[in-house]
């Protein structure tokens, strides 16, 4: 967020603090239970949001630091692997070997079925673990040794690319990696991000360093887990002893870019700046800056300087795999830095996993009971309303009337 925009946002924040108000949506919004609990609705979302034309945020440039770096991005119906080739160009492929369909990279799982490796480096070529077919970083099939001539009749097809990896549209822009999971239409960055790429680009993600990541599964709809990032209303109550002493619930100044949104969740310290010259004003130093990148990613940039990328993969209407990644501004070279970022990681995971997601799991169980017809977002929760209304439009479902 450039300084001029931060001053604008701060003036709005101070106005609202003085008047004890917050920006409001036009009216409360009704969300029927089926949007969270119906498998049929999830199928609609999978077709339109996850397996459709919409590009998804798969990660940041520092996920692929060197030629040969790879990163998996598994979606329902589309296991994806991103690879930086020797020209430093990032390419995305279906992570499916063209022989008999093995995962090519990131295939090791633990006994719970959880991926053990979702990133790594394959400096020269990509080799399938099953029968060792070899592909280059551009996805071309190079070798299929030890096959006793078993593919002789289709050698010509192999040579002309019919058994190359399936490549997907992918771009690296402003430090972000965007992938379209289906189709071959190139990604048009300004159009597909509705202009939000410039606002994200101001954070310089390409200069960050990957720190650590975790995959966890929760018994809650993917949107319910995302909902928890989209309002400050719950901070005073749910986070009364963790975040509430430092964070304000209101005001939340929301900017939208198509289905995406950007808003700072401000700390109480924000208010003290009004007595400083405007040239010293900062939102970023007194807030967690949140980008909701539709359909399924949330980017949180707290004032301590790290970047958190959350993404949410539906496994069923009531179960979601969450991936949390941390990026830090400098490579970690000292024990003090390690202690600092480990502490930050612990605070984040304690609060979000231990307070927010536990809460969302109990909501999911209540919604799945079928005993209430829907839930209601207040006009004081405008980012939530914007997100659900936008997803409704993208999935072809109209707003439900308030009961």
- The binding site for ligand FES (CB under 6 A) comprises 97, 99-102, 128, 130-131, 133
Say whether the peptide bond before residue 257 is cis (omega within 30 degrees of 0).
no
Judged by phi (left if over 0) then psi (alpha if -120 to 50, else beta), residue 195 lies in left
Beta strands in 317-363 (DSSP E): 319-328
Question: Residue 70 or 387: which CB sits closer to Fe ion?
Answer: 387
> In whole angstroms, how close is the CB of 238 to Fe ion at the nearest point?
6
Question: Residue 14 or 345: which CB sits closer to Fe ion?
Answer: 345
Tokens of 371: 């005993």
Residue owning tokens 């830095």: 337
The Cα 119–Cα 112 span in angstroms is 19
256 Cβ contact partners less than 8 Å away, ≥ 6 residues apart: 262, 386
Which listed option, ligand FES, Fe ion, none, makes contact with residue 208 (CB within 5 to 8 Å by class)? none
Question: Residue 80 or 290: which CB sits closer to Fe ion?
Answer: 290
> In whole angstroms, how close is the CB of 345 to ligand FES at the nearest point?
36
Question: Residue 63 or 231: which CB sits closer to Fe ion?
Answer: 231
The Cα 12–Cα 250 span in angstroms is 12
255 Cβ contact partners less than 8 Å away, ≥ 6 residues apart: 199, 261, 262, 263
Of the candidate spans 110-118, 228-236, 286-294, 386-394, the one that interacts with Fe ion by CB under 5 A turns out to be 228-236
Which listed option, ligand FES, Fe ion, none, makes contact with residue 255 (CB within 5 to 8 Å by class)? none
> In whole angstroms, how close is the CB of 136 to ligand FES at the nearest point?
15
Which listed option, Fe ion, ligand FES, none, makes contact with residue 117 (CB within 5 to 8 Å by class)? none
Which listed option, Fe ion, ligand FES, none, makes contact with residue 102 (CB within 5 to 8 Å by class)? ligand FES
> In whole angstroms, how close is the CB of 142 to ligand FES at the nearest point?
12
Chain centre distance of CA 265: 18
Task: State which of residues 14, 274, 356, 366 lies at the interface with Fe ion (CB under 5 A).
Answer: 356
> In whole angstroms, how close is the CB of 127 to ligand FES at the nearest point?
8
Which listed option, ligand FES, Fe ion, none, makes contact with residue 271 (CB within 5 to 8 Å by class)? none
The Cα 342–Cα 224 span in angstroms is 27
> In whole angstroms, how close is the CB of 122 to ligand FES at the nearest point?
14
The Cα 313–Cα 75 span in angstroms is 6
Question: Residue 97 or 224: which CB sits closer to ligand FES?
Answer: 97
Of the candidate spans 41-49, 201-209, 294-302, 355-363, the one that interacts with Fe ion by CB under 5 A turns out to be 355-363
Which listed option, ligand FES, Fe ion, none, makes contact with residue 356 (CB within 5 to 8 Å by class)? Fe ion
140 Cβ contact partners less than 8 Å away, ≥ 6 residues apart: 161, 164, 165
Of the candidate spans 121-129, 226-234, 291-299, 319-327, the one that interacts with Fe ion by CB under 5 A turns out to be 226-234
Question: Residue 1 or 81: which CB sits closer to ligand FES?
Answer: 81
> In whole angstroms, how close is the CB of 261 to Fe ion at the nearest point?
16
Question: Residue 128 or 394: which CB sits closer to ligand FES?
Answer: 128
Tokens of 148: 């006793």
Spell out the alpha helix ranges (H) of 165-260: 189-192, 196-201, 222-227, 235-238
Residues 135-194 that bind Fe ion (CB under 5 A): none
The Cα 231–Cα 359 span in angstroms is 15
Residue owning tokens 């097809």: 157
Question: Residue 141 or 322: which CB sits closer to ligand FES?
Answer: 141
Cβ contact 370:36 at 8 Å: no
The Cα 31–Cα 46 span in angstroms is 19
The Cα 339–Cα 364 span in angstroms is 35
Question: Residue 146 or 279: which CB sits closer to ligand FES?
Answer: 146
Residues that bind Fe ion (CB under 5 A): 228, 356
């Amino acid at each position: 967020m450039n300084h001029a925009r931060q001053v604008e946002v701060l003036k709005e924040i101070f106005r609202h603090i003085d008047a004890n108000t917050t920006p409001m949506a036009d009216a409360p919004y009704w969300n029927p239970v089926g949007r969270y609990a119906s498998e049929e609705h999830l199928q609609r979302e999978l077709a339109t949001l996850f397996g459709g034309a919409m590009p998804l945020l798969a990660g940041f440039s520092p996920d692929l630091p060197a030629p040969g770096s790879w990163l998996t991005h598994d979606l329902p119906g589309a296991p994806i692997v991103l690879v930086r080739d020797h020209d430093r160009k990032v390419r995305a492929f279906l992570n499916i070997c063209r022989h008999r369909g093995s995962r090519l990279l990131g295939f090791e799982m633990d006994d719970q079925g959880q991926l053990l490796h979702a990133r790594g480096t394959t400096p020269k070529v990509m080799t399938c673990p099953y029968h060792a077919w070899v592909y280059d970083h551009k996805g071309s099939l190079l070798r299929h040794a030890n096959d006793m001539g078993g593919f002789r009749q289709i050698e010509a097809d192999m040579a002309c690319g019919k058994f190359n990896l399936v490549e997907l549209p992918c771009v690296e822009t402003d430090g972000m990696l965007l992938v379209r999971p289906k189709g071959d239409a190139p990604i048009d960055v300004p159009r597909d991000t509705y202009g939000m790429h410039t606002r994200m680009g101001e954070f310089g993600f390409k200069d960050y360093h990957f720190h650590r990541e975790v995959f966890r599964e929760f018994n809650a709809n993917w949107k319910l887990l995302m909902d928890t990032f989209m309002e400050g209303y719950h901070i005073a109550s749910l986070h009364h002893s963790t975040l509430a002493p430092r964070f304000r619930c209101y005001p939340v100044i929301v900017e939208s870019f198509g289905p995406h949104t950007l808003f700072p969740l401000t700390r109480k310290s924000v208010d003290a700046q009004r007595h400083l010259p405007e040239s010293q004003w900062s939102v970023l130093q007194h807030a967690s800056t949140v980008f909701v990148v539709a359909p399924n990613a949330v980017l949180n940039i707290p004032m301590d300087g790290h970047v958190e990328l959350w993404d949410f993969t539906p496994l069923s209407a009531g179960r979601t795999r969450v991936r949390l990644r941390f990026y830090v501004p400098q490579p970690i070279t000292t024990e003090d830095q390690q202690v600092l970022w480990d502490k930050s990681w612990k605070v984040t995971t304690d609060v979000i996993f231990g307070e927010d997601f536990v809460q969302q799991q109990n909501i999911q169980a209540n919604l799945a009971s079928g005993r209430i017809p829907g839930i209601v977002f207040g006009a004081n929760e405008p980012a939530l309303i914007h997100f659900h209304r936008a997803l409704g439009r993208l999935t072809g479902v109209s707003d439900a009337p308030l009961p």
